[in-house]
Amino acid sequence: MPEIEPSRWGELYDRAFPTVYRALVAATFDPERALDGLHDAFEEGLRHPPAEDRNLEGWLFRVALRKTRRGIFRSKRETALGERAAGDDVVTILDRLEVGRLLGMLTERQRAIVVAHYYLGLTQEEIAAGLGVRRGTVSATVSQSLARMREGGAIRG
């Protein structure tokens, strides 16, 4: 497939930014670092577009996550979720808070893998390639993360 034309990056930005940003905040618990990493990922896409025009949201997430990891591994749990919850109903807000609490039980790497898998729909192979780990590590991390979250009391099954 041909590279993405630079003119299409504006459309991609408008379409993908909100979803990928929320995924990065969920993975890093740091809205500022997520924003910086996502902007850096879009900049990289303009300079060196991905070879394929497939799952660009996943590509942006992987690149942005890599860029955020170059910063620091600090955590701002108090700003993890709900900053824009004004229009949401109470049930949705409570669900988000519970998801945030459960994600807060995980390490940053575990959160990144779980969010990439369940929120962005990346395959284990895509996550492994993006994070520079083996597919088996991704599989084990998802299993361990779900077990840890189950111990937190909210996930059944």
pLDDT in tens, 114-143: 988 888 888 999 899 888 899 999 999 999
* Distance of alpha carbon 115 from alpha carbon 111, whole angstroms: 6
156 within a domain of the structure (yes/no): no
Residue range of the domain that includes 99 = 6-78+87-151
In this structure, is residue 157 part of a structural domain? no
CA separation for the pair 99, 111 (Å, rounded): 11
In a domain, 92, yes or no: yes
Count of CB atoms situated within 10 Å of the CB of 30: 23
Q: For residue 156, give both structure tokens.
A: 């059944």
Is 56 domain-assigned? yes
Tell me how many domains the chain contains. 1
Per-residue pLDDT of the chain in tens (157 residues, 90 and over written 9): 456 676 777 888 888 899 899 888 888 888 888 899 999 998 888 888 887 777 888 889 888 988 887 654 333 333 334 444 444 455 565 566 677 888 888 998 999 899 888 888 889 998 998 888 999 999 999 999 988 888 876 444 4
Q: What is the CATH number of the domain that holds 62?
A: 1.20.140.160
Distance CA 137, CA 127 (A): 10
